[in-house]
Amino acid sequence: MNKIRVLIADDSSLMRDIIRESLGDEFEFIETVMATNGEEARKKLLDGDHFELILCDWEMPGLNGNDLLRWLREESHMKAVPFIMITAKDDGESIMEVMKLGVTDYIVKPFSPDILCQKVSRVFKKKAANPQ
Q: Is residue 71 part of a domain?
A: yes
Confidence (pLDDT) at 23: 97
Angle at 120 between CA 57 and CA 90, to 5 degrees: 40
Residue pLDDT tens, the chain, 132 long: 588 999 999 999 999 999 999 999 999 999 999 999 999 999 999 998 899 999 999 999 999 999 999 999 999 889 999 999 999 998 989 999 999 999 999 999 999 999 999 999 999 998 888 876
Please report how many Cα atoms fall inside a 13 Å half-sphere around the Cα of residue 84, on the Cβ side.
Answer: 23
Distance CA 53, CA 4 (A): 8
Domain containing 113: what range? 4-124
Q: Is residue 129 part of a domain?
A: no
Q: Is residue 132 part of a domain?
A: no
108 residue type, one letter:
V
82 residue type, one letter:
P
φ, ψ for residue 18, nearest 5 deg: -60, -45
Q: How many residues does the chain have?
A: 132
Q: Work out how many domains the chain is built from and give that number.
A: 1
Confidence (pLDDT) at 49: 83
Confidence (pLDDT) at 76: 85
Residue ranges of alpha helices (H) inside 47-112 are: 65-74, 92-101
pTM greater than 0.85 (yes/no): yes
Q: Is residue 100 part of a domain?
A: yes
The SS3 of residue 107 is: strand
Q: Is residue 130 part of a domain?
A: no
Q: Is residue 79 part of a domain?
A: yes
The SS3 of residue 83 is: strand
* Helical packing angle, 13-26 and 113-129, nearest 10°: 60
Distance CA 15, CA 13 (A): 5
Confidence (pLDDT) at 16: 97
For residue 11, give the CATH number of its domain: 3.40.50.2300
Q: Is residue 13 part of a domain?
A: yes
Q: Is residue 88 part of a domain?
A: yes
